[in-house]
Homo-oligomer: A and B are copies of this chain.
Amino acid sequence: MISQIKQVQGRVFEKLLGEAGIEEFNGPQGRILYVLWQEDNLPIVELSRRTGLAKTTLTSMLDRLEARGFLNRGFDKSDRRIIRIILTDMARSMKDKYNQVSEDMNKIFYKGFSSDEITQFEGYLQKILDNLYKEENNK
């Protein structure tokens, strides 16, 4: 059911982005930008943790976002293995527009939910996510 929700949510969100006139990036790219809007200058591995995407997935997605002028790759001074992802001003300027769509999406998603139910539901999600990460890492 989770997969199903993710799939349908993705298609609906894509449509909302279009209706809001956002042609510059799509849903999956928005998910990465969303994390970076909260905090950038992150190493790719950390971005992987925060998005749930494999780091090999990020390589190509970041290539595309870089090609379109959303971000730059910068070196880390103290550890040369690490590459840090920095948003461009253009990328920063789109944050508010995206958040508006995100709110609209949330309203659709949680239609008929009380705020207590939302809190409870999101607590369950966090617990499940912890369970999954524990399994992925500790084995």
Where the two chains meet, the residues of A that have a C-beta atom closer than 8 Å to any C-beta of B are 1-12, 15, 31, 51-54, 108-113, 117, 120-122, 124-129, 131-133, 135-136
Contact = CB atoms under 8 A, between A and B. Distances in A.
A4 B112 contact: no
Contact of A3 (B12, B52, B113): B52
- Counting every copy of the chain, the complex holds 2
A117 B129 CA distance: 16
A109 B131 contact: yes
A135 B109 CA distance: 9
A108 to B, nearest CB: 5
A62 B12 CA distance: 24
Given A2-B5, A2-B125, A109-B131, 14 more contacts: A1-B122, A1-B125, A3-B51, A3-B52, A5-B52, A5-B125, A8-B52, A8-B136, A12-B135, A108-B131, A109-B132, A113-B124, A117-B124, A120-B120
